[in-house]
Structures are given as structure tokens and as C-alpha cells.
Amino acid sequence: MRIAVLQFTHETVTFLPNDTTRDDFIYPGSPAGGAALLATDPKGYMGGFVQVAREYEGVDLVGLTSPLWPRTGIGSGWVTQDAFAHFLDAMLAELEAGAPFDGVYLALHGAMAVRGVPRPEAEIARRVRAVVGVGVPIAATFDPHGNEDAEFLHHADMAFAVKYFPHYDMHLQGQRAARMLVRTIRGSFRPAHRTIPIPILAPTVVMWTGASPWSDLIQRALVWEAREPDVFVNVYFGFPWSDVPDAGMAV
């Protein structure tokens, strides 16, 4: 079982004057591929995904050369179209050259904003799908501060978003993505999904999940998951600092 692993993450504040360029993603250690990519963020999404995927016999993880967080970090401006196209084209070329794959894992964020690309994460999934074909399952992990509507899951099969802020459960969501991707490849799980946008833009300063109302929303999601095996409920808080078409909450 061969699974391709890609990463492309950014949390974009579109109101800042400094664009995030191609050079911002290039520094010692980034881009990373192969074992180096798989070893990044051991306590986060990637670490959880790799840990569980390797617990299954016969699973080969192929880390495709991916940009890590830009040197500007969280809270930098629009990603330029040049930067987005450069790294995505390179990853897709590597994906095509290494085919066939039985599954794909995308380590994403959900609040990337690219000039001229309305829904970057959905565009990544769309173009990955075009390379691997309709029968190859695609799973992804997301930050809860994501602006995601139904478009992403129109092209991908599964999404697993962090529940808590602060993000205590990044490793757990990576583990879930690996487990359900392997099960889908083996045929013991058949993904189905529904995305409901909620027309609310909430300030990030009230998104702490240790207090109401966000603790109530997450507790409800956890109860739904506990009641039904193989049901996963994502609550996207939204990211109001990205002025994009799909900004806002979604479940």
C-alpha cells in the first residue's frame, strides 16, 4: 500500500501589506521531502499520521517535496499566485512521476489565501484528484481556524479538523486521518460527507474552547462522535482575517 504525503500550509491575514512570496517558503529545511518531511512536526498532524500509518503492515509512505510553514510564520499576507503555483506544480509533478498510489494524505491548514485563487485548499485537492484519478482516496487534516465550504470535499474524501483551541489534539487528528485512509483503501470504510456553512464571522479572541460558546459547540460534536462509530464532526471556527469567498464557520 503506497500513500503519498504532501503538505502546504499557511494562515493568511489578507489585510497585511506584505505578500508571502516563493522565497518565504525556501530556507534551510524547507521544502522538505522523503523521510525529512515525514519527520516534521512529530507532535502535530504529520507525527500522528506517520505513527499510525506505520503501525499497519505493508504501508509505504512517500513524502513528496513540500514547502513547510513560511519563514514569515503565522499571520503574514496574501500568498502570491507565483508561490502557490510553483510549489503545487512541483508536488503534482512528483506525484505523477511516483504513481500509482493507493491513497493521498494532505497536511493543510484551511486559512490559506492566494491572490487569484478563491479556495486554495480545494484547488489543491482538485488538482491532486486530477493526477491520481477517481478511485484513490484523499484524506486531509485541518486547523479549526479554517475557511472551508463544501468545495474541498467535492474533490477529496475525508477531512479531520482539530477540535480545541489551543490545539491540543493535532496529533490525534493526524492519527484519525491515517487510520481512516488505510481503512478506506482496504475497503472497510466508505466515506460520505455533508458540509453546512454557517453565515457567521466570529472574532478569534472568543474562540477559546475552554469557555462558552465554543466549548458547547465542541462538546456537542464530541457527543455525536461518541454516539456513532466512524462518524467525525468538524467544527470550523473560521478565520476572519482572511477576506475570502468562503470565510466563516462551517460544520
Read out DSSP for 66-77? B--S-TT-SSB-
147: left (phi over 0), alpha (psi -120 to 50) or beta: beta
| Residue 211: exposure state from Cβ atoms within 10 A (0-12, 13-18, ≥19) | exposed
pLDDT of residue 204: 85
pLDDT of residue 74: 79
Distance of CA 207 to the CA centre of its chain: 20
Q: Which residue in the block uniquely carries the three cell numbers 523521510? A: 35
Compute the distance between CA of residue 115 and CA of residue 85 in angstroms, rounded to an integer: 11
User: pTM score, two decimals?
Assistant: 0.97
Report which secondary-structure segment, H or E, holds 152: helix 151-155
pLDDT of residue 206: 86
Compute the distance between CA of residue 40 and CA of residue 29 in angstroms, rounded to an integer: 10
Report which secondary-structure segment, H or E, holds 175: helix 170-186
Yes or no: say if 206 and 82 are a contact pair by the CB < 8 Å rule. Answer: no
Report which secondary-structure segment, H or E, holds 89: helix 81-98
The residue ranges of the chain whose pLDDT is under 70 are none
Q: What are phi and psi of 245, to 5 degrees?
A: -60, -35
Strands 103-107, 197-198: pairing kind: unpaired
Compute the distance between CA of residue 177 and CA of residue 140 in angstroms, rounded to an integer: 7
Helices 81-98 and 120-132, axial angle in degrees (round to 10): 20
Other Cβ atoms closer than 10 A to 55: 12
pLDDT in tens, 28-50: 999 999 999 999 999 999 999 99
pLDDT of residue 102: 98
pLDDT in tens, 196-229: 999 999 988 889 999 999 999 999 999 999 999 9
Number of residues that this document lists for the chain: 251
Strands 197-198, 158-161: pairing kind: unpaired
